[in-house]
Structure 1
Amino acid sequence: MGPNAPATRERVGHEELVALLKLRQPGIQYRSHEAVFTCEQADQLFDDLPGTKAKNLLLKDRKGNRYILLCAAESRRVDLKILASTLGSSRLSMATNEELERLLGTESGALSLLSLINDTQLRVEPILDAELAQIDLMLCHPLSNRCTMAVDMRLLLQMLDHSGHSARWIALN
């Protein structure tokens, strides 16, 4: 574990994470809504929230030894072969819903950088699209695909650091 990683603890749940975000970012804007599983479904529900929409993919290498949470601009097309080469990894594929639950304690459609709060064993590497480096707010699901919050990007990066994760920024072409 990294020097900033929390001690082993129980997983954080949706309500606890929402309360933490409200405390750390007073006035945070958010919407509760019906469950969403794709970016397209989400687009129809909360167009009025400020912030950048992102797509989040939990990927694994061929042997299942390396897990990556890729956070990219919503419009970004991601070529997994090129990404694997860039990261010096074997072939990448999507992790299963079971792995999503086991590693991050979240469900399909709810994956975001906030999910890393539950990765106390630091099994998942956060990889961020360099295009997102200049944004102020990112729309994130707080461990539930029934809620979306406009999270300050500085707070999001602080939370990653506090959880022991180091964000790696890469240019996705």
Structure 2
Amino acid sequence: MMTEQELLETLAGYPFERHEHPAVFTSEAADKFTSHLRGVPTKNLFLRDKKKKNYLLLVVRGDKRVDLAQFSRDRGLSRVSLGSPEDLFEKLGVTPGSVTILSVINDQNGQVRLFVDSDLSQEDFWHCHPLVNTATLIMKGEHLLEFVETCSHPAQMVNVPVVSENSREG
């Protein structure tokens, strides 16, 4: 699995800013250290279907509340939920809190499908972790999408449903 330093060297052809901060485990916690930075924070959800046959990485705006039940139905999948920390490390080489669009570089077997919320296409700069949760990178969204494609993980741009006041989980 790739280290942060190896990833940064691989990203050398793309301009980015790197900002260090204490370890964060949620997008809300990251906002305390990154809200003053340009660009939009992202939330990265490592998901699996009920039968553990399909693994997905879903990237959305940091403030978006995703309706996973509707997202599952829209994709024709049995209900998706968060994948286990063990599966996360096995498939993407990161631990909870460090999930990032860039972690697809560690999915050498192509087991994880990448979905990116189409809302992000309206944003020039995106925040993402460099495989660790003690730093945030700021990169152009178009560069991130180019990079993941070079990792054999072209992003599927999708409309991601949000939880409404009336919807219930379960």
Give the structure-2-normalised TM-score.
0.90
Give the Cα–Cα distance (whole angstroms) in 2 for the partners of residues 135 and 19 of structure 1: 25
Give the Cα–Cα distance (whole angstroms) in 2 for the partners of residues 19 and 32 of structure 1: 17
Where in structure 1 do 4 or more consecutive aligned residues deviate above 4 Å? none
- Verify: 1:156 aligned to 2:147, yes or no: no
Give the Cα–Cα distance (whole angstroms) in 2 for the partners of residues 48 and 30 of structure 1: 14
Q: Is the 8 A contact 1:57 1:94 kept in 2?
A: yes
Give CA-to-partner distance per residue, 1:64-92, whole Å, 9 cap, x none: 01001010111211111100001110111
TM-superposed CA distance for 1:25, in Å, is 2.6
- 2:91 matched residue in structure 1: 103
- 1:3 matched residue in structure 2: none
Q: Is the 8 A contact 1:29 1:49 kept in 2?
A: no
Helix, strand or coil for the counterpart of 2:33?
Answer: coil
Q: Is the 8 A contact 1:157 1:167 kept in 2?
A: yes
Map residues 136-151 of structure 1 onto 2, 5 A cutoff.
Answer: 136-151=124-139
- Verify: 1:47 aligned to 2:35, yes or no: yes
Give the Cα–Cα distance (whole angstroms) in 1 for the partners of residues 142 and 2 of structure 2: 21
Q: Is the 8 A contact 1:30 1:49 kept in 2?
A: no
- 2:14 matched residue in structure 1: 25
Q: Is the 8 A contact 1:84 1:92 kept in 2?
A: yes
Q: Is the 8 A contact 1:117 1:159 kept in 2?
A: no
Unmatched tracts of structure 2, length 5 or more: 162-170
Unmatched tracts of structure 1, length 5 or more: 1-10
Give the structure-1-normalised TM-score.
0.89
- Verify: 1:60 aligned to 2:48, yes or no: yes
Q: Compare 158-167 and 95-104 and name the one that shifted more.
A: 158-167
Which of 53, 68, 72 is 2:60 aligned to?
72
- Verify: 1:92 aligned to 2:77, yes or no: no
Amino acid at match of 1:47: S
Q: Is the 8 A contact 1:160 1:167 kept in 2?
A: yes
- Verify: 1:171 aligned to 2:163, yes or no: no
- 1:129 matched residue in structure 2: 117
TM-superposed CA distance for 1:152, in Å, is 1.6
Q: Is the 8 A contact 2:28 2:62 kept in 1?
A: no
Q: For residues 48 and 25 of structure 1, do their structure 2 counterparts lie closer, same or farther at Cα, with a shift above 3 Å needed?
A: farther
Amino acid at match of 2:10: L
Give the Cα–Cα distance (whole angstroms) in 2 for the partners of residues 51 and 119 of structure 1: 26
Count residues in correspondence: 161
Give the Cα–Cα distance (whole angstroms) in 2 for the partners of residues 128 and 77 of structure 1: 14
